[in-house]
Structure 1
């Protein structure tokens, strides 16, 4: 009689383990989207989306016309990290789009989106004394994510 009770306890435990494993195998990956912004090869900003907005100011005062701004956005739930139908827009404080750059879907390990600093400096001159923001959008993030404010 005791042998039957031990076997039943073992079967219940084994069933619980199997069901738990099956339940956790179908859950989504948890994590946070992140991005980094480089001026040429120099890291200016590395953020996770839950960090405070006041830290997201790009200092471009020393940037030259020949410099390149490289943005790399990693989606936490996508295998290679890159979104599809990616774009970066320069917006004013009211959310009006001043300029939008669209990028091809990333292939391989290069997830960078590159913007010529010359274009940003030109737009900054025509929109002086305005707060300008870089906003990333993708099919996976249609509402967009404010990446940074620009500081010239």
Structure 2
């Protein structure tokens, strides 16, 4: 009788552990900064800052000059948008080609005209370009994506 109860308890514990590992694989990334990039209103990239850089590639080949890129950066500490936010487009040497500053607001979205990005890509077609985010909460910045 005791053997059966021990066996049932062991199976229950094993099931509980298995379910917790399974659920944690699908849970959101608590404690990590994350961001989403939209082309107009269509989500084209969603990342957490710990994911590999090779996944962070923006392809604007299908974008029109009238389109807008919307970036929503969520800080884990404030659970909202940062303050003193800016986006910069940089070349592979870290030279800033263009900087966009954004007001402190409760709205996450930072909007960049795709026209600006396409023009800068055309002018610097022999350089690798990347989009970077900085704020008071993240003064060292974060590379969001490479442009291809």
TM-score category by the smaller chain?
0.7 to 0.9
Match among 138, 141, 152 for residue 135 of structure 2: 138
Structure 2 Cα separation of the partners of residues 50 and 75 of structure 1 = 13
Runs of 4+ in 1 over 4 A off after TM superposition: none
**Residue correspondences, number:** 119
Deviations 1:60-93 (A, max 9, x none): 00100000000000000004x1100000000000
- The yes-or-no answer on 1:129 pairing with 2:126 is yes
TM-score, L = length of structure 1: 0.76
Structure 2 Cα separation of the partners of residues 52 and 123 of structure 1 = 25
Q: CA shift at 1:35, angstroms?
A: 0.2
Larger radius of gyration: 1
SS of the aligned residue for 2:81 comes to: coil
Structure 2 Cα separation of the partners of residues 132 and 122 of structure 1 = 12
Which residue is equivalent to 2:69?
A: 69
Q: CA shift at 1:129, angstroms?
A: 1.8
Structure 2 Cα separation of the partners of residues 123 and 48 of structure 1 = 26
Long gaps (5+) in structure 1 = 1-29
Deviations 1:75-127 (A, max 9, x none): 00004x110000000000011100000000122xx210000000111111111
TM-score, L = length of structure 2: 0.78
Match among 101, 111, 115 for residue 118 of structure 1: 115
